[in-house]
Each structure stands twice: as C-alpha cells, then as structure tokens.
Amino acid sequence: MSRRIKEHSESALKSALARIKEILGPKGWADDPVDMAPYLKEQRGNYQSAAALVVYPNTTLEVSTVVSICAETGIGIVPQGGNTGLTGGSVGTAHGRDIILSTRRLNRIRAIDPVNDTIVVEAGVILQRVQQAAAEVDRLFPLSLGAEGTCQIGGNLSTNAGGTGVLRYGNARDLVLGLEVVLACGQIWDGLRSLRKDNTGYDLKHLFLGAEGTLGIITAAVLKLFPKPRQIDTALLAVPDPAAAIDLLPAARSAGNGALSAFELMPRQGLDFALRYIAGTIDPLPRPYDWYVLLELSSLTDGNNLRSRLEALLHNGFEKGLVLDAVIAGSITQSRQFWRLREGLVEGELYEGGSIRHDVSVPISRIPNFINQAVKAVQAKTLGIRPVAFGHIGDGNVHFNLIRPVDMDCDAFLAKQHELSDIVHDIAAALGGSFSAEHGIGLLKRDELGRRKPLVEIELMRRIKQALDPTGIMNPHKTLPEQIRRVK
C-alpha cells in the first residue's frame, strides 16, 4: 500500500513538474545539475541542498500559476532572492522534492513617484538598483547592507533586513507601504497601496514581512523614499572600550540633532582581519587601539555646521576620556575607506577560517555588559579563542563572532558550536536580548527558536502558518520549530 502511494506521488510530482515547465517555457526553469548548482549553494556551505526543479517565473501571474500547481500536488516551494541569507532559509533541503522559485526575473521597477515619495518594485530587483533609481530622482532609499549588490528586495523584506541605516530609518519593515503577494493557494493579494495612513483593520503586510517565505511569495512592494542627504560626515574614532562607545552615543545623537545615521563598533581583532585579507584597506590611525567606532552624521541641508558639531562631539569625547584618537574623513574616498574596513572585517573573518557567528541584540545600555560577560565566558571555555564583537550597536545589535584559536583545527573548533552558542545566547537572554537580531531563523536557528521563544508565541506562529499555508508547502521545514525543547 505504502509503495503504491509512493508511486502515485512520484508520478504526480513528475506530471506537475512537466506542467510547470510547459507554462514557464524554456527560459523559465532549470533541472540540469550544473544550471541548478548556484541556486542550491548555501552561503556558508552548512547545508546539503537539493531540489526537484529551479523555476524563474517572469510575472506575478506565472508565480501564481506555479504555486497553484504546487498547492494541488503538495510540492514544497522555497522562494529565493539573491541567496545571500545567512541562515539557510533560501536553499532546498536534502530530500530534493521541493522546487526553488527564484525571483530573479521579477526585476522591474514599476513606478517611481517623487511627490508621494514612493517607488514600486518587483521582488527580484537588486537592492543597489533600488538605491540608484531613488538617487536618479534625487531621493534616498536608505536600506543598506554589505550584500546590497546581490540581495533582492523580496529577500530583504522577507528577512526584515537591518543593515547600517536602521538607526535613522528603521528596519526593512519600516520602509514598506504596500505589498503584492502570491498566497500559498496561488491567489494573488494586491496590497500595493501607497498610503501613509490606512487604518482599515489588520495590517496584513506585516504578516509577510520577516516571514522568510513561509507564508507566501512577495512579488512586488511599494517602498518609502526619503530626501537625499546633502552633507555626510564620517569619522573613525578610537575608544577605550565598548562602555565608552555607549557613553558617547547619547552625545552623538544630540550633536547630530537627528542626523546620526550610523554608529558601528569594531574591535582591533576585526580590523586586523580586514587589513590582512582585504585589498585596498588602510589603517587610518597612526597606531593600533583596542576598539573603534565608525560614526556618520548626515544632514538634509548644506552649511548647517554639521562638521563643527562633529568636531565639538569629538573634542568633548577627548576631554571625558571617551575618545582616544579620531579622524574625520576629508573626502568621499576616505569615507569609503572607513566603510571598507567595516565591511572587510566580515569577509576577512571568512578567510581566517573556523568561525562561529552570533547575531544578538540587547537593550543598548547593556551592550558593554553583554560583551564583557560573553568574552569572559567563551575564553574560559576555549583557551586562545578570538572573539570579534562588532556591529550596529546604535541599534543594540552585536555580531559576536568567535574565531578559532590559531593552533586549533577548524573542525575541532566548529564541533564546539552548540556549547559556545548556548553560552552566548544564555547571556543575551539574561540581559533581555534576542538570539537573532537581523539575520532571521531559517534552518540555522529553527531549533533555537523552539528552545527560547515563549510557547504562546510559537503557538500563535503555528496558527498563522496553518491559516495561511494549510498544506505546508511554503518553505517547508524552515523557521517554525518542528520539535520544542526548552532551555534548561
């Protein structure tokens, strides 16, 4: 009996895939292992990924047709944008019976309205292109992150991406006015409203923002635009420790008078990785310091004393012992060099090999406490471990990455992942923090969600999943925990 069901479902799968191929035409799919390979590859190589087919629909209607066929047959669908996600959410699972639906051909900018300050884009538009389109009409789209040349808007919205502009403009969720979504039954929900006020019941778009493709496929969005800053001043500061950086933050907010647009912490160890491995990086200060802050003020008008306010901030910081040394970028090129260090730090860590990464958030005032406790705790467990605590500390977000001791083999170090991550996540939790600030859950943190999220919240998530995707075809096995084991 079970064999018959299996044969039946195999043949149903084959005929459904054949129908999908016919509808999309030869440009709309790949089943050859070589062509499929880039879509199956996970950023960090952590998961074995396979798929029955990769599809690239060209229109929302085609997405809807594909989803309808999958819903009839029970075929799982993994939505994929730029595939830069860091939690394994955008690739297939080992059994290979799901399809990957890439949004790369949904890449049109449908409209731009500088008066309404909105842009309507399809899900597959690359983030950098949205920024450029906004700049062409003298506006700003403020979402900005290291992967912006590759990641797509659909992926950004589905992960509720953070990045460097959160301090001033909020997360991706805060930049959306409307969505178009293909629901798990194949129906198209046209919620592409360009309204800043619309209190007409539940705000449904928020269900899909940050849902990691588990509730439906975002096919287009109305995004908010902002006035383009006329003046940007960037400074790299050496500070004694993370506590000094946090003490400086309120003054930086006041000095900026609403213009503080970035406040990033970097440790020397991270700078060393960038300087060692990333071409074109330069150490901007004459001697090394233990900690740095990359700070940016931006203003909508020229000549409003932004530079003198920044200089006054640094001067006061020196007097209070919060700043040890500082350099203000004298040109856009120099400002880019500072940012290159910040971005190169992440890439440099990869070349160093053997890293265990964390993306935690705690209330901003508790960041120094978190870093102190976490550094001590992991060093007590592994002699010679190299912690690199950096990130968007103006948002309370610390990327707390652990690099293997120089004399330890990568595999031996990575075998300690669970033990070390438990320590880090326990400390963040005790300080009222989160184990995933901006990268989401995917496969990587699914079990952690089952261990740490309050049961009532998991139950609410499951009810929403059941209501919107009753057959469970949307990004199966991702995000929602399959088993719940609580933290002891």
Ligand X SMILES: Cc1cc2nc3c(=O)[nH]c(=O)nc-3n(C[C@H](O)[C@H](O)[C@H](O)COP(=O)(O)OP(=O)(O)OC[C@H]3O[C@@H](n4cnc5c(N)ncnc54)[C@H](O)[C@@H]3O)c2cc1C
Interacting stretch for ligand X, rule CB under 6 A, among 18-26, 246-254, 278-286, 436-444? 436-444
Name which of 184 and 329 has its Cβ closer to ligand X: 184
CB of 262 vs ligand X, minimal distance in Å: 11
| Minimum CB distance to ligand X, residue 8 (Å) | 29
270 scored as a contact of ligand X (CB under 6 A): no
- Cα–Cα distance measured from residue 428 to residue 422, given in angstroms and rounded to the nearest whole number: 10
Could you say whether residue 142 binds ligand X (CB under 6 A)? no
Bridge pairing between strands 355-356 and 397-403: antiparallel
Q: Compare residues 105 and 193 and give the one whose CB is closer to ligand X.
A: 105
Angle of CA points 134, 136, 141, to nearest 5°: 15
**In the complex, what is the shortest distance from the CB of residue 50 to ligand X, in angstroms, rounded to a whole number?**
16
Q: Is 123 in the site for ligand X (CB under 6 A)?
A: yes
Q: Which stretch binds ligand X (CB under 6 A): 23-31, 212-220, 314-322, 401-409?
A: 212-220
Does residue 147 belong to the site contacting ligand X (CB under 6 A)?
yes
Instruction: Tell me: does residue 154 bind ligand X (CB under 6 A).
Output: yes
Q: How far apart are CA 476 and CA 192, in angstroms?
A: 27
Smallest gap from Cβ 199 to ligand X, in A, equals 26
CA distance 345 to 272: 8
Per-residue contact flags (x/-) with ligand X for residues 215 to 234, judged by CB under 6 A: --xx----------------
Which residues inside 161-190 make contact with ligand X, applying CB under 6 A? 161-163
Among 49, 60, 158, 382, indicate the residue that binds ligand X (CB under 6 A).
Answer: 158
Q: Which of 310, 297, 316 is nearest to 232 (CA)?
A: 297
Torsion, CA 211, CA 360, CA 425, CA 387, rounded to 10: 140
Q: Which is nearer to ligand X, 16 or 145 (CB)?
A: 145
- The nearest distance, CB 235 to ligand X, in angstroms, is 20
Of 317 and 450, the one with the shorter C-beta distance to ligand X is 450
Residue 281 found at the interface with ligand X (CB under 6 A): no
Nearest CA among 329, 261, 331, 326 for reference residue 299: 261
Q: Among 346, 389, 402, 480, which residue interacts with ligand X (rule: CB under 6 A)?
A: 346
**Least Å distance between CB 213 and ligand X?**
3
Q: Which of 49, 60, 65, 84 binds ligand X (CB under 6 A)?
A: 84
Stretch that binds ligand X, among 159-167, 188-196, 229-237, 322-330 (CB under 6 A): 159-167
Residues lying near ligand X in the complex (CB under 6 A) are found at 43, 78-86, 89-90, 103, 123, 145-147, 151-152, 154-156, 158-159, 161-163, 212-213, 217-218, 346, 438-439, 442, 475, 478
